[in-house]
Amino acid sequence: MYEFLQYRVQDAMTPEPIAISPKAKLREAEALFEIHDFNGVPVVDEQRRLIGILTKFDLLKAFSFDFHTLVPHYDQIMEQAIETVMTPYPASVEPQLPLSRLLQKMVEMRAKSLPVVEEGRLVGIIAREDVLKALRRAAIQHEAPIHEESRP
């Protein structure tokens, strides 16, 4: 785990990730989810400033019972703009944040992924899978021998 303590968010994140415009439709986000294994997609303006995140959970929420109709209509809902159902002002992290701190934050928030922002601009995204991979990498490099020696 000592090695892991050295890692920063920028070492494990996906840099310059795919992002989507707030005016795009839910249909387009759904198409992205279909192709890629994203938990959520960052929503950015023309300057790639982070203004929201659209998760699969947000998409499901758009289909939950509300007072507009008795039965939700697929096509109608999929035509809505992303900004109407995204989570605005999402939590984000800086690239220099230690990965151990990011892990704590993820656990506390039960977040599946967090956008990485530098000076307001989206520079990456980091997911649970990325942190797991970093943990594995750190363990393989430095902790395997300790395990060996502790055997009787």
Partner 1 sequence: MTTLLYTHPLCLEHDAGYGHPECPARLTAILNELKTGLFAALEWREAPEASLEQLTRIHAPKHVERIFARVPRHGHYAIDGDTVLSPQSGEAALRAAGAVCAAVDAVLKGEASNAFCAIRPPGHHAEPHQSMGFCLFNNAAIGAAHARAVHGLEQVAVIDFDVHHGNGTQAAFEAQRGYLYISTHQAYIYPGTGRREERGIGNIVNVPLPANAGSAELRQAWIEEIEPALRAFQPQLILISAGFDAHYLDPLAGLNFCEEDYDWLTAGILAIASEYCSGRVVSMLEGGYNLQALAASAAAHVKALIAGSPTA
By CB under 8 A, name the binding residues for partner 1.
65-71, 73, 76
Q: Report how far residue 14's alpha carbon sits from residue 125's, in angstroms, rounded to the nearest whole number.
A: 5
- Distances 38 to 31, 66, 104, 137, 150 between C-alpha atoms, Å: 11, 27, 21, 22, 40
- CB closer to partner 1, 2 vs 65: 65
Q: Which is nearer to partner 1, 2 or 67 (CB)?
A: 67
**Could you tell me the smallest distance in angstroms from the CB atom of residue 4 to partner 1?**
41
- Residue 74 or 107: the one with the smaller Cβ distance to partner 1 is 74
Burial of 62 (C-beta count, 10 Å sphere; 0-12/13-18/19+):
middle
Q: Which is nearer to partner 1, 35 or 70 (CB)?
A: 70
Please state the closest distance from residue 28 (CB atom) to partner 1, in A: 22
**111 Cβ contact partners less than 8 Å away, ≥ 6 residues apart:** 91, 105
Tokens describing residue 121: 């601009």
The nearer residue to partner 1, 37 or 66, going by C-beta atoms, is: 66
Least CB distance to partner 1 at residue 111 (A)? 24
CB of 74 to partner 1, least distance (A): 11
What ranges in the chain are assigned the alpha helix state H?
2-6, 9-12, 26-35, 56-61, 74-78, 99-109, 128-142, 144-149
Smallest distance from the beta carbon of 77 to partner 1, in angstroms? 11
